Amino acid sequence: MCYKFCIWQRIAHIGRVFNKYKLLRMLPIDAEKRISFKRCISDGDLVIVYERHDNMKAVKVCEGSTLQNRFGVFKHSDWIGKPFGSKVLSNKGGFVYLLAPTPELWTLVLSHRTQILYIADISLVIMYLEIIPGCLVLESGTGSGSLTTSLARAVAPNGHVYTFDFHEQRAASAREDFEKIGLSSFVTVGVRDIQGEGFPDEFSGLADSVFLDLPQPWLAIPSAGKMLKEDGVLCSFSPCIEQVQRSSETLTSNFTDIRTFEVLLRTYEVREGKMDCSQGNEGGFLGPRPGKRRQRSGEASNEGEIPTSTTVMARPAAEARGHTGFLTFARLKCLSLRGGTSPLPPLHL
C-alpha cells in the first residue's frame, strides 16, 4: 500500500511540475516582475566593470563620478545611454566592459560577509531542489546572499524566496544588496534564529524547497520538515563530514532518498603555445619531448633548426578550487510512511 501510494505521489508531483511549466508558457509575464536589464545604462544603475576574468567590481553609475584604475580614468557620464556589454575607453585609451549584474557575476564580486557558495555548488542545489518558476523557497542563513540571488532568479516571475539570518546587521546588508541588483520583489529577508526557533509557522506545509546553511543543521531539520509540501526537498550545506553524519541521522526519521555530494571543480586554461612540428599532436607536449637534452645556444647542430608551429593547447589551471563543503539532499517521506493518512487514492498496478 505504501509503495503504491509513493508511486502515485511521484506521478502527481510530475503532473504538477508539467502543469506549472505549461501555465508559465501560456500566461503573459508581468513586465514589472520580470528579471531583465534595460538595454541602456542609466544614472543610478549597478554595473559590473570587467577588466579581465579574475578582476571585476560592482560600480553604481553616478553622473559626474569617475572610475580610476590601471587603464586610466573612466567618466560615468560616458557610460550613460550605452547598452550593457559595451566596451568603454579611458582618457589613456585603455578599456573595460560594462556588464549586467547577473547572479553569476554578482557571486564573483559581492562583499564576503561569510563563506559563500560558488557557481558549481549553486548549480547542483537549484537542480536537486527542483526549483522552477513559481516555487516558494525557504533559506537559512542568508550570509552574503550568493545563493539567494540565484534562487530568486530561478523562482521568478511569480515565486518567492524567504531567507533568514540570526545576525541583524548581516540581514540588513543583504537586503540592501538585493535592492541594488533588482531582486527585492522576489526576496524577503528576515532576522530569526532558525536553529533555536525554527521557521515561522505561517509557512507550514507551503514550501517547495528548504535550504540550510547552519553550524548545527540537525536542530532545524524537524522544523524544515513541517514547512515542506508533500514530496518537498531539503538541502543542507556543511563544511565538515561530522555535520553531515549527524544531519543524516536526523533526516532518517521523516526523510528519504538521502544523498550527499562534494563538488570539486577543475578549470582548464586554453591558450596558444609553440610545438615542434616533428612531434605532430602526439601527447600534446609543448617544446621538445621529455628526456631529450635541449640544444644549448651557440652549440653546433647537424640537424639544423627544428621547425615550430603555433597551436591551441589546453592544460589544467595552476590553482584549482578545492573543498568548499558537502551538500546533503533529502526528500520528505510519504504521509503513509510517517504514520499519516493518505490524501490520494492508491494506485492500482
List pLDDT tens digits, range 72-130.
Answer: 999 999 999 999 999 999 999 999 999 999 999 999 999 899 889 999 999 999 999 99
* 322 annotated as ligand-binding: no
Q: Which CATH number fits domain 40-102: 3.10.330.20, 3.40.228.10, 1.20.120.450, 2.40.50.140?
A: 3.10.330.20
Please tell me the chain's helix, strand, coil percentages from 3-state DSSP, rounded to the nearest 5: 30, 30, 45
Instruction: Walk across the sheet containing 55-60 and list its strands.
Output: 55-60, 46-52, 95-99, 86-89
**What residue segments make up the domains of the chain, in order of their start?**
40-102, 111-264+323-332
Residue 336 has a pLDDT of: 61
* 205 annotated as ligand-binding: no
| One-letter amino acid of 30 | D
* 236 annotated as ligand-binding: no
* 146 annotated as ligand-binding: yes
Distance CA 93, CA 102 (A): 27
343 contact partners, CB below 8 Å, separation of at least 6: 230, 335
* 231 annotated as ligand-binding: no
Nearest alpha-carbon partner for 227 in 150, 137, 160: 137
The helix-helix angle for 168-180 and 146-155 (nearest 10°) equals 50
Residue 284 has a pLDDT of: 45
CATH topology of domain 111-264+323-332: Rossmann fold (3.40.50)
Phi, psi of 261, deg, nearest 5:
-125, 150
* 213 annotated as ligand-binding: yes
Alpha carbon distances (Å) from 76 to 59, 73, 129: 10, 10, 41
When pLDDT is cut at 50, 70 and 90, the band that residue 335 belongs to is confident
* 111 annotated as ligand-binding: no
List pLDDT tens digits, range 258-291.
Answer: 999 999 888 888 888 877 665 554 444 444 444 4
| One-letter amino acid of 150 | S
On whether the CB atoms of residues 103 and 83 are closer than 8 A, the answer is no
List pLDDT tens digits, range 200-241.
Answer: 999 999 999 999 999 999 999 999 999 999 999 999 999 999
Q: Which residues pair with 98 in a beta bridge?
A: 49, 86
From 105-109, 187-191, 343-347, the region with the lowest mean pLDDT: 343-347
Alpha carbon distances (Å) from 287 to 93, 301, 302: 36, 17, 19
List pLDDT tens digits, range 8-54.
Answer: 455 455 555 444 443 343 333 444 545 555 678 999 999 999 998 88
